[in-house]
Amino acid sequence: MQKKIWNIVLATTVAALFSAMAWPQPKQAGRTLVVDGHAGQAEVIQKDGRAYVDLQSLMEITNGSLSSRGNRIVLSLPTSKVSHPAAESPEDSTPHPLPDNGLSRDFMKAGIEEFATMREWASTLAYAIQNNYHVTDEWAANYREKAAHNLRLAASVASTDADRSALQLLTNEFEAVRAWSDKLVEARKSMDTAKYTMSADALRNEPQSQKILTCGRFLATMLGSSSFQDDPSCH
């Protein structure tokens, strides 16, 4: 069996992660993806009749690797031990230098992980607030620390000027989500969140929420393009 290479359009995958942050959405019965012959499973996100899976989780299940080729992200699966893989074409075997604004592969992987963590933090908190669930500092801190940890990982692998510029935008979004989270936790403690339970749009339409969502959509586009871009919504 030849080495299987899946060309993944990263923009679609990452956009799906942050579109779920267009909070909140009712909890559905959990669905998971399993890959025949591989251990592990990945959460499946249902959106507009389509099923999405986190690219990082899929890579870990299959013991694969991610690489960047122009405007594509390539998921490479290990070659079967009993197979005789075909020789790579010169185009595939020749390293492609990154353009000046190109993001490195390691940073993109870490950036996607941080992106997904912030989405989980924000969407879970929004769902809790809108459904009048009890929210504490300790509860929010668990999400905050996980996002902070993944942000540090992204910083540790930022190796190009484009990586470092993109890291600043991710950091700005992290700080925006943290301030928004702190505000909602304090509002919940003072019993000032009833307005968010009256309308599905009340929380989403607030300026602070809109800024986070707008920056998130931009980050999805940027990471999907494999190159650094800038936008005022992330400042």
pLDDT score for 234: 97
Which DSSP symbol is given to 86? P
C-beta separation of 39 from 61 below 8 A: yes
Quick one: which H or E segment has residue 79?
Answer: none
pLDDT score for 79: 61
Q: Does the predicted model carry a pTM greater than 0.75?
A: no
pLDDT score for 50: 65
Q: Which of 118, 99, 97, 115 is nearest to 223 (CA)?
A: 115
In degrees, rounded to 5, the angle at the alpha carbon of residue 54 between the alpha carbons of residues 2 and 166 is 105
CB burial string 114-148: b at 16+ within 10 A, e below: bbbbbbbbbbbbbbbbbeeeebeeebbeebbeebe
Q: Which of 44, 52, 105, 40 is nearest to 76 (CA)?
A: 105
pLDDT score for 95: 54
Q: Which residues of the chain have pLDDT under 50?
A: 1-9, 11-12, 15, 18, 20-21, 26-27, 29, 81-84
Query: In sequence order, which residues have a C-beta less than 8 Å from that of residue 97 and are 6 or more positions away?
Result: none
